[in-house]
Amino acid sequence: MAKIEGGCLCGAVRYSSDDDPLNQTICHCKHCQKQAGSAFSLVVAVFRFGLDVQGELATYEDVGDSGQAVLRKFCAKCGSPVISDLVSVPDVVFIKAGTLDDTSWLKPDAHIWAEHRQEWVNVAEELQSFPRNPSIG
Ligand SMILES: [Zn+2]
Ligand SMILES: [Zn+2]
């Protein structure tokens, strides 16, 4: 069962929500690759006002390819990326799925920014794949 509960690597930041996740997206954009230090990031969208966050998040103000600000929030102590907050999407925030305590229920819905996908990453045929981000220009 989907449970939004997790935190950063060191445990200084914890979050939880009783809401169900809205969607789960694999983002292949270059910014996610850089920030995650990995091939992509899997993000889970949740309602902003249902999300309770404890601990200190630092913010890097990034700019998405849409030209709008993307606030990349990470633990001030251990550096784990925890939340992406897109100014263009006011009601929702995106949790970096690797920070969830229980990841067993994750089942991604779609790929975005597939034009930046690393060659070796296989895309499951049944998932929708978008060359860019269909919802954010
Ligand atoms: Zn931490
Ligand atoms: Zn991205």
Class assignment of domain 4-129?
alpha beta
Measured from the alpha carbon of residue 36, the closest ligand is: 2
Distance 137 CA to ligand 2 centre (A): 13
Instruction: Give the pLDDT confidence score for residue 137 in this predicted structure.
Output: 42
The secondary structure element, H or E, covering residue 105 is none
Which residues fall within 8 angstroms of residue 69, CB to CB, at 6 or more apart?
61, 62, 63, 86, 87
Rounded distance from Cα 69 to ligand 1 centre (Å): 24
Q: What does pLDDT average to over the chain?
A: 93
Q: What is the mean pLDDT of residues 34-39?
A: 96
Strand-by-strand arrangement of the 110-112 sheet: 57-63, 69-75, 81-86, 92-96, 41-47, 23-27, 110-112, 128-129
Give the distance (Å) from ligand 1 centre to CA of residue 47: 23
Domain edges within the chain? 4-129
Q: Output the CA 35–ligand 1 centroid distance in Å.
A: 15
